[in-house]
């Protein structure tokens, strides 16, 4: 899951990013409205945490622009207690939810989970599965028939993306975008290395699941 954080209070923005990363999300953080809009318009995010009062362009303006461009990424607005008008305005403009500052970590994570409900087969917030293979977030592992093997963070993120889009070819570019980000230097063979680790781990626990290569395009979970 890839989240964009747009918040001009640097300490808060960095704290948010840290909390999300510790909970297996990949996160891009920007500190003003223009960068916020630029990033959000790419449409690659699974959710956006958007502050309302931002330099150069308000969160509400960003939201209006996104919805006008038919980008429906779920948005969680961050509001100060005094910004009731903005909150209502934000929901009217297509925000999915809001969170009033200050907030506690547990509430933030619950809101983000609700925001990014996956399309794959979800057992509960901590687990997704495909053909009996379970991806367990709290253990950062895959499990089949009681056998369990740990994944690295990147392996986990790739597996999550595959399970959320089963039986579909995921282009390598999309995997890079989602997991490493646009400005990363991740090379295509990095992905191949992670995919080969994942294949080994899937075979170690004998799960009836395969990551197939679509030559020259990407991968699919079958
Ligand atoms: Ca602000």
Residues facing 143 on adjacent strands: 134, 148
Rounded to an integer, what distance in angstroms lies between the CA atom of residue 179 and that of residue 200? Answer: 20
Q: Which residue has the higher pLDDT, 200 or 183?
A: 200
Q: How confident is the model at residue 186 (pLDDT cuts 50, 70, 90)?
A: low
* For ion ligand 1, residues whose CB falls within 5 Å: 8, 51, 53
User: Residue 23 Cα, ligand 1 centroid: separation in angstroms?
Assistant: 24
134-161, pLDDT tens digit by residue?
999 888 999 999 999 999 989 999 999 9
Q: What is the model's pLDDT at position 183? A: 61
User: Residue 63 Cα, ligand 1 centroid: separation in angstroms?
Assistant: 15
Residue 162 reports pLDDT greater than 90: yes
Residue 168 reports pLDDT greater than 50: yes
Q: What average pLDDT does the segment 66-85 reach?
A: 87
**Strand, coil or helix: what is 205?**
coil
User: Residue 51 Cα, ligand 1 centroid: separation in angstroms?
Assistant: 6
Q: What is the model's pLDDT at position 220? A: 96
Lowest mean pLDDT among 7-16, 164-173, 174-183, 206-215: 174-183
Q: Looking at domain 2-117, which of 3.40.50.970, 1.10.3720.10, 3.40.50.2300, 3.30.1330.10 is its CATH number?
A: 3.40.50.2300
Share of the chain above pLDDT 90, in %: 67
29-49, pLDDT tens digit by residue?
999 999 999 999 999 999 999
Q: What is the model's pLDDT at position 119? A: 45
Q: What average pLDDT does the segment 173-193 reach?
A: 78
Residue 189 reports pLDDT greater than 80: no
Helix-helix angle 84-92:59-68, to 10 degrees: 10
User: Residue 219 Cα, ligand 1 centroid: separation in angstroms?
Assistant: 40
User: Residue 78 Cα, ligand 1 centroid: separation in angstroms?
Assistant: 9
User: Residue 157 Cα, ligand 1 centroid: separation in angstroms?
Assistant: 30
Indicate the domain borders of the chain: 2-117, 127-221
- In angstroms, how far is CA 77 from the centroid of its own chain? 16
User: Is 51 within 8 Å of 78 (Cβ atoms)?
Assistant: yes
Residue 199 reports pLDDT greater than 60: yes
Average pLDDT of the chain to the nearest whole number: 89
User: Residue 28 Cα, ligand 1 centroid: separation in angstroms?
Assistant: 17
Share of the chain above pLDDT 70, in %: 93
Rounded to an integer, what distance in angstroms lies between the CA atom of residue 100 and that of residue 213? Answer: 45
Residue 121 reports pLDDT greater than 50: no
**Strand, coil or helix: what is 38?**
helix
Whose CA is closest to 8, among 55, 65, 46, 57? 55
Rounded to an integer, what distance in angstroms lies between the CA atom of residue 67 and that of residue 71? Answer: 5
20: left (phi over 0), alpha (psi -120 to 50) or beta: alpha
User: Residue 177 Cα, ligand 1 centroid: separation in angstroms?
Assistant: 27
Q: What is the model's pLDDT at position 31? A: 97
Q: Which two tokens stand for residue 48?
A: 């956006």
User: Residue 25 Cα, ligand 1 centroid: separation in angstroms?
Assistant: 23
Residue 123 reports pLDDT greater than 50: no
Q: What is the model's pLDDT at position 184? A: 64
Rounded to an integer, what distance in angstroms lies between the CA atom of residue 98 and that of residue 79? Answer: 7
User: Residue 102 Cα, ligand 1 centroid: separation in angstroms?
Assistant: 12
User: Residue 45 Cα, ligand 1 centroid: separation in angstroms?
Assistant: 21
User: Is 135 within 8 Å of 161 (Cβ atoms)?
Assistant: no
127-221 CATH fold = Arc Repressor Mutant, subunit A (1.10.10)
* 163: Cβ contacts below 8 Å, ≥ 6 apart: 120, 121, 128, 129, 130, 133, 135, 221
User: Residue 125 Cα, ligand 1 centroid: separation in angstroms?
Assistant: 30
Q: How confident is the model at residue 188 (pLDDT cuts 50, 70, 90)?
A: low
């Amino acid at each position: 899951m890839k989240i964009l954080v747009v918040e001009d209070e640097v300490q808060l923005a960095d704290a948010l990013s840290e909390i999300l990363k510790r909970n297996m999300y990949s996160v891009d953080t920007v500190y003003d409205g223009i960068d916020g809009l630029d990033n959000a318009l790419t449409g690659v995010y699974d959710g956006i945490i958007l502050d309302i009062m931002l330099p150069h362009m308000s969160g509400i303006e960003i939201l209006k622009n996104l919805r006008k461009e038919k980008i429906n990424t779920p948005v969680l607005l961050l509001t100060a207690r005094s910004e009731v008008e903005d909150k209502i305005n934000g929901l009217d403009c297509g925000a999915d939810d809001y969170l009033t500052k200050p907030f506690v970590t547990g509430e933030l994570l619950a809101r983000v989970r609700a925001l990014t409900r996956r399309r794959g087969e979800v057992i509960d917030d901590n687990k997704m599965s495909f053909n009996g293979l379970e991806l367990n977030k709290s253990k950062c592992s895959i499990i089949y028939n009681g056998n369990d093997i740990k994944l690295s963070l990147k392996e986990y993120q790739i597996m999550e993306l595959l399970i959320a889009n089963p039986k579909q070819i995921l282009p390598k570019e999309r995997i890079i975008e989602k997991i490493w980000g646009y400005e990363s230097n991740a090379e295509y063979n990095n992905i191949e290395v992670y995919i080969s680790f994942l294949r080994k781990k899937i075979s170690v626990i004998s799960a009836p699941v395969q990551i197939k290569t679509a030559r020259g395009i990407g991968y699919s979970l079958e």
